[in-house]
């Protein structure tokens, strides 16, 4: 199963923000290769920027990014995607880029905490909780 992770899911898992248990489980599924985890290259800089709020050590921020890049396949953020997303029906530009990247690289699912942000998506959009339930049902 190929899953593109929205930035908010990764940040929740890393910082133990909000209801992070399902996000942590999904990170373990990626680490154990139960699912194929993907991010776009653009998300790496976004994650670094957001981590500044939670992590003061530059060494620690870079360690976290290294782990993410080791665990997740990083898909390129193509110029054509960025241009297309300027006209996307998905209102949030960053979400449009994630959605279009998933489409172009045939990633079947996008896991996000913000389902409504992807209401115009053609991809399968799923919450961390829903994905954990689906994976647990498949592994029984």
Q: Smallest Cα–Cα separation from 123: which of 98, 91, 86, 93?
A: 98
Give per-residue pLDDT as tens, 109-135.
999 999 999 999 989 999 999 999 999
Residue 14, pLDDT above cutoff 80: yes
pLDDT tier for residue 139 given thresholds of 50, 70 and 90: confident
Q: Which fold has domain 2-138?
A: Rossmann fold (3.40.50)
Backbone phi, psi, residue 40, to 5°: -90, 155
Which residues on adjacent β-strands are paired with residue 110?
Answer: 4, 125
Give per-residue pLDDT as tens, 30-46.
999 999 999 999 999 99
pLDDT tier for residue 3 given thresholds of 50, 70 and 90: very high
Reported pTM = 0.93
């Amino acid at each position: 199963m190929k899953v593109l992770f929205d930035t908010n899911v990764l940040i929740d898992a890393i910082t133990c923000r909000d209801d992070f248990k399902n996000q942590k489980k999904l990170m373990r599924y990626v680490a154990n290769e139960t699912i194929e985890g993907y991010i776009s290259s653009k998300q790496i800089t976004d994650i670094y920027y957001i981590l500044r709020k939670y992590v003061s050590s530059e060494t620690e921020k870079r360690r976290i990014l290294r782990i993410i890049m080791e665990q997740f396949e990083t898909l390129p953020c193509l110029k054509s995607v960025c241009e297309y997303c300027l006209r996307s029906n998905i209102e949030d530009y960053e979400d449009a880029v994630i959605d279009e990247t998933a489409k172009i690289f045939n990633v079947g699912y996008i896991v996000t905490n913000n389902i409504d942000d992807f209401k115009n998506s053609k991809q399968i959009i799923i919450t961390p909780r829903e994905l954990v339930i689906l994976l647990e049902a498949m592994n029984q």
